[in-house]
Structure 1
Amino acid sequence: MTSLVLDSFYQPAETLKDARLELALTNVGSKPLKAFSLAYTALTRASAEAVLENADSFRRVANFHEIAPVKGLELQPGESWRFAIKGLVNPARHRLDGPKSGYVTANGNIMEVQCTDLKAPVELITGDRKILPDGRATDPLHIVPWPQSVEIDAYRDDVSGFHIATTTPEDLAAASRINALSARLFSNAPLPFLFTESSNLLTLEFHEDPRLANDGYTLDWSARSVTLRHGGAVGRDYGLTVLAQISYGVYCAPERFKFPMTGTIADAPRFAWRGTHLDVSRHFRDAKDVKRLLDILAWCRMNVFQWHLTDDEGWRLEIRAYPELTTKGSRRGPGTMQESQLGFASESYGGFYTQEDVREVVAHAAGLNIDVLPEIDIPGHCTAVLKTYPYMADQAEPPESYHSIQGYPNNALNPAMDETYGFLEKVFAEMADLFPFEFVHIGGDEVDDRSWLSSPKVQRLMEERGLGDTMEVQAYFMGRVRGILKSLGKNLAGWDEVSHGGGIDPDGVLLMAWQKQEVTRELIEQGYEVICTPGQNYYMDMVQGTCWQEPGASWAGVATPEETYAYEPAAGLSSAGKDLLRGVQACIWCEHMTSNEIFNHMVFPRLFAVAEAGWTQPEHKDWQRFAYQSALFPAL
């Protein structure tokens, strides 16, 4: 039972130097507390020059804060220790920006602290919450993403599913797979496809049509049957998924949705790349959860899963050449090498995927027509690596000579050290064996522009190569990494900063444009193939309303479900530029997502909005129809 509670209050000011975080630790137990220190994690961080009030000292690493009370303070049962930090790195905007979790250390013991939501002055507790209208629809069909062409003449409600009228093993297996997908997502609903005749079923016939794209399909409806024409195996699966959605909609909401009686649905995806990214470093999700998310992606016909496997907060992929990456680098908290971050502060928190886990996830994804894009985030975001293997840092580089935007000191692999490339060669070799997809994502984001400038080894490299600044050093590094991947038969994917410092040859390189909407066009003008994933619209961790009570981050602004749905990724592109826009991607960053309830609130229905942006031509989109259907979308 928790005997300590931490309340927090945000006091804004004209400058962050004067902004304050006021805190109160209350002893709700039955014994006095003395000779202790308090640790907590919070995204509203104290600055290095912060001034303490009624506290003696503090230590901060990124979001981790450890504070010592004034000497001799004893906290009796029922009493509160009130203290404050004046001087913050970033302003608080929402209730989850304060302490997420904490603990007290006393006499060598760790005691969990219950952290309440951050409070704010009345003037900040305003604005809108997440808003989703009831919506309306002209066609009573539950389909998402919406097809390119729907020409249905009449509807019916006297059938309940489909009878498979085929003896082709491939068709039977495909229907069985979509049955299994439906059952995993909606265990309380009837399966859409039966393999023997029964009453109230439409006969489903299959025809392969070489005129259609491999991922294209048509559904021709008549009074007693429906014919699924498909260009290839992927199109057959997509057509079956749409039939399963129609069936599920009729089962769940017969007053809203019907089966077609006569007419045609003709369909194929707008973009070849319809992706979703998941960060498992900030908060670990086991293989079961990952497979559940893959099922959801398949249900809305997304076809790429970017697995963000490493970051400062933890390394999640078993690499047999470097076992300590997961025995040590995958955990944080008391008793580990890394300080607590972003929740679960009082415990040793973490986890990793064995190579057997990875093969299982990749196989599951392949059965759903989803490619798995692994991401190892380098050269920045590497605290977990450098804490595990300190020899990989330039020992002559002063500690804390630079900090990442998240507050981590000296967190980037050193481009001037042979040890860096030897490490990456072994890591990528094992990854190439685990992941069959043509691309490996190498991050390349958020390297501080002061990185390595105090490293004697990098200084020598810069002089030898004529490199002028950190970004040019990173471009050199990216060129070498690209060569390693090429030797393994892989192409390089990365965030848009890979183009900085002169970039690398765009041939075979795929970049994710995330920092602002204009970056998509800028990268395409440089010749890169691009995935559009702007933080302002497609980042699922962005807050969905201006209200203080709404959970999420807001550095990129507010991304309401409607704004996410309405964003047009090809806006401003020339015809030639559109050829280099390969698709769209939702990014699920998990700093705030400490529970499934928060995850589902923030990710859905916006994930399905990105799916429709990737699939449906703009002229066929309809926000009110999308909102009308959203109540039936699956969640984690």
Structure 2
Amino acid sequence: MTLWLQQCWSPEGAPDSKGGMFRLSIHNRGDAPVAPVALCMSSMTRIAGPAQIEGAALDRRFGNYHRLIAPEGLLIPPGEAWLIRILSLTHPPKNRSQGVMSAWIEADGGEIPLLLGDLEPPPGTPRGPLAPLPEGRLDLPLGLLPWPQHVDIAEWDEPVGLLPSAELTEVAALHQRLFPFARGILSRDGRPVRFQPADMPAEGYRLDFTPDAITLSHADPDGRRHGLVALAQISHAALSDPRFREPLRGHIEDHPRFAWRGMHMDVARNFRTIEEVRRAGDILAWHRMNRLHWHLTDDEGWRLEIPSLPDLTRIAARRGAGLPLLPQYADLHWGQAGHYSVAEARDLVANAASLGIEVLPEIDSPGHLTSLLAAIPGLTDTAEVPDSYRSIQGYPNNAVNPAVPAVYEVLGKVLDAVCEIFPSHLIHLGGDEVDPRSWQQSPAAMALAEAEGIAGEGVTHRLQALFMRRMQQMLADRGRSLAGWDECADGGGVSPQDTLLFAWRSVEKTAELMQAGYDVIATPGQAYYLDMTQSADWDAIGLSWGGAVPPEKTYHFEPTEGLPTDAAGRMIGIQAGVWSEMLSTRQRWNAMVFPRLSAVAESAWTRSEAKDWPRFCALSRLMPQL
């Protein structure tokens, strides 16, 4: 690349700017002049309208994508630069990753990708690397995470592994997939494992160690599986790290704290291959987690094949310059494409079930549906004023219209396909982040509101609740129940009966929803969203609307604190949120997700008084990554 984009942020923008200004300098480091027609870029901090720009003119905004027209006749000679000042931004960036994430020049000869510099802060801003995770401390040479409820080991021994048997085949295969270069946990010199059922809490297990054998007592098939994973972890740690040993005499008794121990995985904004999603399931099983919440659709992409609606994957599963869905985030002009076939999704569900993991599919609605609207015409009010609202992510008019009958026909076909693929009793239908101005410039939606007696403040959210209740009934007609984000309780809300809501907007939302009668999964962005920056420092990366979420904060967060004891609803469990705007590569995924996913896993499994931060820091390094 011979063109380099230098980007700087200043809090001093136009008087009405909410986020200060950007100064972009496109330097020509080559030996030939460049004649740009336009600069195309994706930026987490977006240009605010009406645009105030010096050195270029805004042509289009679509999500994070912006196209800026170059001044007529502009030429960038070698050693010179094209300077652009963007004086009005949607919000102030908080770190170096929240500026331009990708950029290219449109020229007569084609597209020219730009090499990007980090977003530079105002002079005097403190800079420095992210503090590393502490080395931690081990009081026992036991490599087991999440930590068990009770450990009583009288004697330790050098590792010998486990004697092969039919019952150990699946856990040995799991270990081999996760650690392909590690010593195997099965050995002809290993100790045999004996099994026996026992009366203990659901999913519970007990390991009794003697020099001759290991006895695994279990409450149920899940407890048996958890005990086997625990044995595999113990042997793996002892065989691969000299700090660890295998128990020779003693016992471990264990069961999970919460029934729901989940991870949400967004594959819509940045696609992950089916092999990567399968590996994510393996990682969850190794952490003894039992739910994979698969976020399959969003504005940026539709990732699941719906056989009766082939345009969803033909059109809505790809984005790029000149396509209905434009490049976003770290995409260059060629964008990205990807979806999962029915066969791939079914295979994933079956593989996850063999590991004790249930897959919860999410089809977001009624907002976050730019991809659906790009592929299927007729799902909005043609009389609605174009660009009459924008989502918080910058997409114009991105919600299906609750007054249009075709919406329910199309979504009915989607639900039919989803229910064929996924056995989960719950189907997650989103319900989040519908802009409060949605549908207010739609004559059809306003007529529906009038017919339903909806008027005054909050009309959008009350229409949304009407839509979600209809979708809830459509699920009930198919023998399924509704899961959704916490906004599903707004505007009159959906029925709490057989409904599960995910409290994400604040720590307090879990208690609010329980008081309203809903069963709840606690997944607050302020503690459990793994796309949040891990530090308030400028040189950290990640989003920041929930504040900085370092691993220690995730680990120490207590999800039951402040919950009512007399509420009609219950907190069923907890979940990590892995949103992918910032996670464009596997390396970034790993850097952001770990060790915080392990922290959520231990909080979901281990009672709070048995947790220990220094021990966690030492043990989390043993865990596999994507």
Q: Could you say which TM-score interval applies, normalised by the shorter chain?
A: over 0.9
Matching residue of 1:64: 65
Is the Cα–Cα contact under 8 Å of residues 336 and 348 in structure 1 kept in the other structure?
Answer: no
Q: Which is further off, 489-498 or 592-601?
A: 592-601
Matching residue of 1:362: 349
Q: Which deviations, in whole Å up to 9, do the C-alpha atoms of 1:157-199 show, x marking residues without a partner?
A: 2x321115xxxxxxx44410100000001111222234xxx33
Is the Cα–Cα contact under 8 Å of residues 516 and 569 in structure 2 kept in the other structure?
Answer: no
Q: Which is further off, 111-120 or 292-301?
A: 111-120
Matching residue of 2:2: 3
Q: Structure 1 residue 599: deviation in Å?
A: 1.1
Matching residue of 2:180: 187
Q: Which is further off, 175-184 or 333-342?
A: 333-342
Q: Structure 1 residue 216: deviation in Å?
A: 1.0
| Distance in 2 (alpha carbons) for counterparts of 1:131 and 1:193 | 34
Q: Give 3-state SS (helix, strand or coil) of 2:574's partner.
A: strand
In the alignment, is residue 542 of structure 1 matched against residue 532 of structure 2?
yes
Residues 339 and 263 from structure 1, CA distance in 2 versus in 1: closer, same or farther, beyond 3 angstroms? same
Is the Cα–Cα contact under 8 Å of residues 544 and 550 in structure 1 kept in the other structure?
Answer: yes
In the alignment, is residue 347 of structure 1 matched against residue 346 of structure 2?
no
Residue in structure 1 matching 2:191, options 197, 202, 206: 202
| Distance in 2 (alpha carbons) for counterparts of 1:454 and 1:339 | 25
| Distance in 1 (alpha carbons) for counterparts of 2:306 and 2:109 | 34
Residue in structure 1 matching 2:418, options 414, 431, 437: 431
Matching residue of 1:168: none
In the alignment, is residue 568 of structure 1 matched against residue 563 of structure 2?
no
Q: Which is further off, 318-327 or 110-119?
A: 110-119
Q: Structure 1 residue 389: deviation in Å?
A: 2.1
Matching residue of 2:251: 264
| Amino acid paired to 2:71 | V
| Distance in 2 (alpha carbons) for counterparts of 1:381 and 1:302 | 28
Residues 303 and 130 from structure 1, CA distance in 2 versus in 1: closer, same or farther, beyond 3 angstroms? farther
| Distance in 2 (alpha carbons) for counterparts of 1:365 and 1:352 | 19
Is the Cα–Cα contact under 8 Å of residues 155 and 247 in structure 2 kept in the other structure?
Answer: yes
Q: Which is further off, 271-280 or 125-134?
A: 125-134
| Amino acid paired to 1:113 | L
Matching residue of 1:148: 149
Alignment of 1:274-313 (within 5 A): 274-313=261-300
Q: Which deviations, in whole Å up to 9, do the C-alpha atoms of 1:61-100 show, x marking residues without a partner?
A: 1211111122211112232101110010011111111111
Is the Cα–Cα contact under 8 Å of residues 280 and 590 in structure 1 kept in the other structure?
Answer: yes
In the alignment, is residue 235 of structure 1 matched against residue 236 of structure 2?
no
Q: Structure 1 residue 368: deviation in Å?
A: 0.7
Alpha-carbon RMSD across the aligned residues, in angstroms, is 1.6
| Distance in 1 (alpha carbons) for counterparts of 2:543 and 2:475 | 34
| Distance in 1 (alpha carbons) for counterparts of 2:556 and 2:475 | 37
| Distance in 2 (alpha carbons) for counterparts of 1:567 and 1:57 | 44
| Amino acid paired to 1:499 | A
Residues 18 and 600 from structure 1, CA distance in 2 versus in 1: closer, same or farther, beyond 3 angstroms? closer
Matching residue of 2:432: 445
| Distance in 2 (alpha carbons) for counterparts of 1:372 and 1:634 | 20
Matching residue of 1:589: 579
Unaligned runs of 5+ in 2: none
Q: Which is further off, 39-48 or 228-237?
A: 228-237
Is the Cα–Cα contact under 8 Å of residues 96 and 541 in structure 2 kept in the other structure?
Answer: yes
Matching residue of 2:406: 419
Q: Structure 1 residue 130: deviation in Å?
A: 4.2
Q: Which deviations, in whole Å up to 9, do the C-alpha atoms of 1:579-631 show, x marking residues without a partner?
A: 71100000100111112221111100000100111111111111111001121
Q: Structure 1 residue 202: deviation in Å?
A: 2.0
| Distance in 1 (alpha carbons) for counterparts of 2:250 and 2:448 | 67
Q: Give 3-state SS (helix, strand or coil) of 2:50's partner.
A: strand
In the alignment, is residue 31 of structure 1 matched against residue 47 of structure 2?
no
Say how many residue pairs are matched. Answer: 621
Q: Give 3-state SS (helix, strand or coil) of 1:207's partner.
A: strand
| Amino acid paired to 1:162 | L
Q: Structure 1 residue 59: deviation in Å?
A: 2.2
| Distance in 1 (alpha carbons) for counterparts of 2:244 and 2:340 | 41
| Distance in 2 (alpha carbons) for counterparts of 1:132 and 1:89 | 33
| Distance in 2 (alpha carbons) for counterparts of 1:485 and 1:455 | 27
Alignment of 1:500-539 (within 5 A): 500-539=490-529
| Amino acid paired to 1:599 | W
Unaligned runs of 5+ in 1: 165-171
Is the Cα–Cα contact under 8 Å of residues 126 and 546 in structure 1 kept in the other structure?
Answer: no
In the alignment, is residue 632 of structure 1 matched against residue 622 of structure 2?
yes
Matching residue of 2:203: 215
Q: Give 3-state SS (helix, strand or coil) of 1:448's partner.
A: coil
Is the Cα–Cα contact under 8 Å of residues 380 and 411 in structure 1 kept in the other structure?
Answer: yes
Matching residue of 1:167: none
| Distance in 2 (alpha carbons) for counterparts of 1:214 and 1:17 | 52
Q: Structure 1 residue 408: deviation in Å?
A: 0.7
Q: Give 3-state SS (helix, strand or coil) of 1:193's partner.
A: coil
Is the Cα–Cα contact under 8 Å of residues 130 and 560 in structure 1 kept in the other structure?
Answer: no
Alignment of 1:128-167 (within 5 A): 129-157=130-158, 159-164=159-164
Alignment of 1:8-157 (within 5 A): 8-13=7-12, 16-17=17-18, 19-107=20-108, 109-126=110-127, 129-157=130-158
Residue in structure 1 matching 2:481, options 479, 482, 491: 491
| Distance in 2 (alpha carbons) for counterparts of 1:480 and 1:578 | 24
Matching residue of 1:614: 604
| Distance in 2 (alpha carbons) for counterparts of 1:400 and 1:579 | 39
Q: Which deviations, in whole Å up to 9, do the C-alpha atoms of 1:232-281 show, x marking residues without a partner?
A: 22111110100110111112212x21111211111111111000011111
| Amino acid paired to 2:184 | L
Q: Which is further off, 577-586 or 588-597?
A: 577-586
Residues 540 and 473 from structure 1, CA distance in 2 versus in 1: closer, same or farther, beyond 3 angstroms? same
Residue in structure 2 matching 1:553, options 537, 543, 547: 543
Q: Give 3-state SS (helix, strand or coil) of 1:116's partner.
A: strand
| Distance in 2 (alpha carbons) for counterparts of 1:490 and 1:124 | 53
TM-score norm. by structure 1 comes to 0.95
